[in-house]
Amino acid sequence: MGFRPIVGESGITYNVEKKEGVISTMSNGWKKELNKVAWNDGEAKFEIRSWSKDHQRMGKGISFTEEELVTLANILAKMDCVKGKIVV
């Protein structure tokens, strides 16, 4: 389910290969998403990043290899959650 590569204002290319899901939506319409993205024709990685409505602009994000994302998922699964809240 690849999307067409996009060339940003700085000449950096990116291709959102797969949209995994929206984590949150801000009041200005930007969405914090988990996606699989390839930058400058490199290997695609999973990342959490804020995107504008049209995906033409983005905020700073954090990238994960598949192995790192699995580790994060395991950490999150071990956390205590009660009624949608993290219990410390």
- Is 32 domain-assigned? yes
Q: What is the pLDDT of residues 10-55, one digit of tens each?
A: 678 899 999 999 999 999 999 999 999 999 989 999 999 999 998 8
Domain that holds residue 44: 6-86
- Please check whether residue 31 lies inside any domain of the structure: yes
Whose structure tokens read 């950096």? 12
* SS3 category, 1: coil
**CATH number for position 75:** 2.30.31.70
SS3 7: strand
Instruction: Provide the pLDDT for residue 9.
Output: 62
**Alpha-carbon dihedral angle through residues 70, 71, 77, 78, given to the nearest 10 degrees:** 160
58 pLDDT above the threshold of 70: yes
